[in-house]
Amino acid sequence: MKKHYIAGIIIFVLGIAFSTNVFAEGDVVRGKAKYKVCAACHGENAAGNDGIAPPLQANIHGI
C-alpha cells in the first residue's frame, strides 16, 4: 500500500513538472506564419476547399 502511495505522489509531481508547456501562451505571429502552409489547402479562413481539404475545427486547432 505504501509503495502505491509513493508511486502515486511521484507520478503526480512528474505530471505537474512536465505539463508546464500546456499552460504556455501561444505566439500569434508564429502561428499565423505556420498556418500559411495549412491555408494552401484549407483556405485563409479555414473553411476548407471542396474536394481538396475539409474545414478545420476551431476547437481543435484554435483558429
Question: Which band of pLDDT confidence, cut at 50, 70 and 90, is reported for residue 58?
Answer: low
- 50 near 14, Cβ under 8 Å? no
Mean pLDDT of all residues in 20-41: 81
pTM tops 0.85, yes or no: no
The tens digit of pLDDT for each residue in 39-49 reads 888 888 888 88
Whether the predicted pLDDT of 17 surpasses 80: no
